[in-house]
Amino acid sequence: MIDRSTIDRIFAAADIVEIIGDYVTLKRKGLNYQACCPFHQEKTPSFVVSPSKGMFKCFGCGKGGNVVTFIMEHESVSYPEALKIVAKRYGIEVEEHQQTEEDVRRNNDRESMFALNGWAAEYFVKYLNNNPEGKSVGLSYFSQKRGFTDATIRKFGLGFCSSSGDDLSSAALAAGYKEEFLLSTGLSLKSEMSGRLRDRFRERVIFPVHNISGRVVAFGGRTLRTDKSVAKYQNSPESEIYSKKRELYGLYFSKRAIQQHDFAIMVEGYTDVISMHQAGVENVVASSGTSLTTEQIQLLRRFTRNITVIYDGDAAGIKASLRGIDMILKEGMNVRVVSLPAEHDPDSFARSHTAEQVKQFISENEEDFLTFKATLLSKEAGRDPIKRSEVVSDMVRSIVQIPDSIQRSVFIKECSRIMDVDENVLIAEVARKRASQSGDAEEQEFIRRQQTQLRREEWQGGANIELDINKSVTAGSSIEALEYELVKYLLKSGHKSFEVMEGRNIVEINVANEILYNLEYDNMHFTNPVYESLLEVYRQEWKKLGIGVEVPAQYFVNHSDPEVCNAAVDILTSDDNYVPSEIWRQKDVHIESESDILRAGVHKAIMLYRSKVLEKMIDTLRARLDDSTLSEDEILEYTRQLTKLNEIKLTLSKKSQRLIM
């Protein structure tokens, strides 16, 4: 386990904007930052990061937490592992106490696979640079054939795997890594005949594949043989830590440049990315030789809405770019296409040109998808009217994918001009196709945007929404709902006070003091363990700080239990307590003050909670009275207790001016 002082140092050092900014493009809005949520698909940003509170919240899907729980959620790692990831970033040494059996059990297969891949990546690098075979075959290929510099080779972690057949497998086993993980990561294959392990990537140059946070999830191995019976590339299989449709090669190295330039260049293979980087063009990623997927586009969309697709200048490369265009458009991205000269691919073009020449070529030759399609397909169609109508239909299919109605309108007009087709005909056709595809999805998205916008503005302080706190709990509320309400009063208004009349005097009552006193007086403990944890943290800090001092949010948001942290974020980002508008005061309209609202709300929540606890006790006693084995003395005692509890319940009902059933 990691000691509390180290955890506190990690949270103190962590910059939540900096870390989450590695995963999504955050844009400042007032005191906070916004982005499209990385945990669910949305078109309008609902994901908000508050640097002052050290927490994030998505008002679309509801996920929220601190910098560590974000890493946990995004990387699917345990709390200790997430702490280590953040600590490593800020150079904080983490010393763990001896692990318990439960801690060992939690060191699951996923983490073992990550550890093995990290070890293998280092193994391949060492073999490339230190072994005679690695230097003569692998290093010479990278440096002489591909022209990669030593700095580039180090940056991308390029390596080489021995031709002997089982060197890596044997070394991994000797280092203590288990056979099951060598097989599940795909680093090794097992012979059905002999049962021996052999290296999947033997005699191949190695390209490690990093996920968005820089962890090695897979490898690509390229053979240097000219034998056509041998597959040119060998890639890691799908596993618990690797799904090729969800990874973009080079994104870990490119995300900063993509954010800076606000567009990404999409190429096809490993060497395309590396050569472009070496040429000084770093906002580039690859689909790793596979067809572009929706998941890859959504991953890239976290950093930019603009993609420039560059594929080989040959016919196959151009056709490949066409297949991906509609997918990119459907995800709300802006897509442009660059056709390279027929003799070049991105790798060769980058190696034969300077960074400025590459950038200039892209700037001067990129076309919007509609112009690109029209130019390409019209050449094939010629004057044939049937083929030209097919070209128009193809262009309409692309326009239909665009979610933004204004952009669709612009491209319909442009298609009408380019293809000389009546604009109204195109409008009708696009509308017909969208209706058949989307149904009422757009209407649902609009409603969701309106709902989340209201919640987001309330959290950011951008809207003065007046809410009646007296409607938050009712006599029918559950015990858990009332516990939530009481914790909410503590976390958001515990330091505030309200006024009450005692005789002829006005006395100020502190919210936290009133709630905690009543809970302790009746010896009541929350049934929900998460709310009980929040209550205990508040009680401890409140006693240290004193009455009237606000307990900082960090004590709850940075709690070691992720469930407690998430509950705290939900409460702290929920609708604010009612604050009367100054406008109404100026108009001499009679409204209740914040003190009036707090007094009524706090007392009501306490009374209702007491009543619910009493109901539970009464139900328990009634159940005991149904026991036929009870003695007369026991029946009399339980009946006496039941009568007393019912009297207390009636008193509470009168106090709250409500009959509580």
Confidence of residue 591 (pLDDT cuts 50, 70, 90): very low
What architecture (CATH level 2) is domain 4-107?
Alpha-Beta Complex (3.90)
User: What's the pLDDT score for residue 282?
Assistant: 93
Backbone angles phi, psi at 266, to 5 degrees: -105, 120
Which range (191-195, 294-298, 318-322) has the least confidence?
318-322
> Please, what's the largest Cα pairwise distance for the chain?
104
DSSP letters, 233-300, are EEEPPP-SS--GGG--BTHHHHHHHHHHHT-EEEESSHHHHHHHHHTT--SEEE-TTSPP-HHHHHHH
Is 504 a residue whose pLDDT tops 50? yes
Q: What is the percent of the chain where pLDDT is above 90?
A: 25
Is 629 a residue whose pLDDT tops 50? yes
What kind of fold does domain 108-242 have according to CATH?
A: DNA primase DNAg catalytic core, N-terminal domain (3.90.980)
The better pLDDT of the pair 613, 283 is held by 283
User: What's the pLDDT score for residue 470?
Assistant: 40
pLDDT tens per residue across span 115-160: 999 999 999 999 999 999 999 999 999 999 999 999 999 999 999 9
pLDDT tens per residue across span 331-388: 888 999 888 887 888 899 999 988 889 989 998 988 888 888 887 777 777 777 888 8
Distance CA 116, CA 182 (A): 8
Distance CA 10, CA 555 (A): 14
User: What's the pLDDT score for residue 107?
Assistant: 55
User: What's the pLDDT score for residue 53?
Assistant: 81
User: What's the pLDDT score for residue 649?
Assistant: 66
Q: What value, to the nearest 5°, has the Cα angle with vertex 65 and ends 62 and 70?
A: 100
pLDDT tens per residue across span 50-95: 887 888 999 888 888 999 999 988 887 888 888 988 988 888 888 7
Which range (211-215, 385-389, 573-577) has the least confidence?
573-577
pLDDT tens per residue across span 405-464: 888 889 899 888 888 888 888 888 888 888 777 554 554 444 455 445 545 555 555 433
User: What's the pLDDT score for residue 578?
Assistant: 44
User: What's the pLDDT score for residue 370?
Assistant: 85
Q: What is the percent of the chain where pLDDT is above 70?
A: 84
User: What's the pLDDT score for residue 298?
Assistant: 82
The whole-model pTM stands at 0.65
Q: Encoding tokens for residue 595?
A: 């003190």
Mean pLDDT, rounded, of the chain:
82
Count of CB atoms situated within 10 Å of the CB of 304:
19
pLDDT tens per residue across span 462-472: 433 333 334 45
User: What's the pLDDT score for residue 202?
Assistant: 94
User: What's the pLDDT score for residue 102?
Assistant: 53
| Beta strands across the sheet bearing 233-235 | 159-161, 204-210, 216-223, 233-235
What kind of fold does domain 370-438 have according to CATH?
A: Pheromone ER-1 (1.20.50)
